[in-house]
Amino acid sequence: MNNTPTPHNAAKCGEIAPTVLMPGDPLRAEFIAETYLTDARRVSAVRNMYAFTGTYNGRDVSVMGAGMGMPSMGIYSYELYHFYGVEQIIRVGSAGALQDDIGLNDIILAMSASTDSNYASQYHLPGTLAPTADFLLLSRAAANAKARSLRVHVGNVLSSDFFYNAADTVNDSWRRMGVLAAEMECAALYMNAAYSGKKALGILTVSDHLYRKESLSAEKRQNGFGTMIELALSLI
């Protein structure tokens, strides 16, 4: 914890709270801080990847952008866990639905994260790792969602390295295996959490459906995910 600031985070030790919400978009991080946190202050803007710390219901909380893809999430979450004393990271992001019973704006709790990435190769494991969420965070989020009568789905998501994939039938294979939705960061977050002995959960809002050509606008993705944010904050 004496390695701060880092090349990617200008915050000093103690300026990041033990709980961090991580959207992919730094502008969404700014929106969350300004809308939901009290006395929020920006503690880092390196590479325009904003980080803020404030309070929610009297408890310290930080919110920081993670960028797009597992390499970006891998860097920021690793530093938060290892250099800033962060105990739990809650990813709040978007996902593309794969299953017919999932609609736009539904909430997905990522119990596990399959991946086409080679991220786990660094651990030299003698098999295949199944990256999973922290059970306590997951179970609390599911209970809180039920109490709020939210449309919520709990299960496996795909964390893909590819937004544009030359194999145009690849989603069919994941869909057939019951994967709920595709996104790009949860697997790296869950692996970093496991490696550091910390906690993580992915809470995702469905922003598009990969089989019905339905989607939300970029503006709605940035500013319209209030239900997901409030669910994440209920875990603080």
The catalytic site residues sit at 208
| Tokens 């809650």 -> residue | 90
For residues 131 and 2, what is the distance between their CA atoms, to the nearest angstrom?
29
Nearest partner of 189 among 58, 28, 20, 34, judged by Cα: 20
Rg (CA), the chain: 17
By CB atoms closer than 10 A (0-12, 13-18, 19+), residue 124 is: exposed
* Residue 29 DSSP SS3: helix
For residues 108 and 185, what is the distance between their CA atoms, to the nearest angstrom?
14
**Beta strands 199-209; 181-183: pairing state:** unpaired
Q: Kindly state the tokens that stand for 61.
A: 């909380």
Nearest partner of 63 among 12, 28, 14, judged by Cα: 28
DSSP state for residue 87 in the 8-state scheme: -
* H-assigned helices in 87-185: 135-147, 170-176
Contact 4, 84 (CB under 8 A): yes
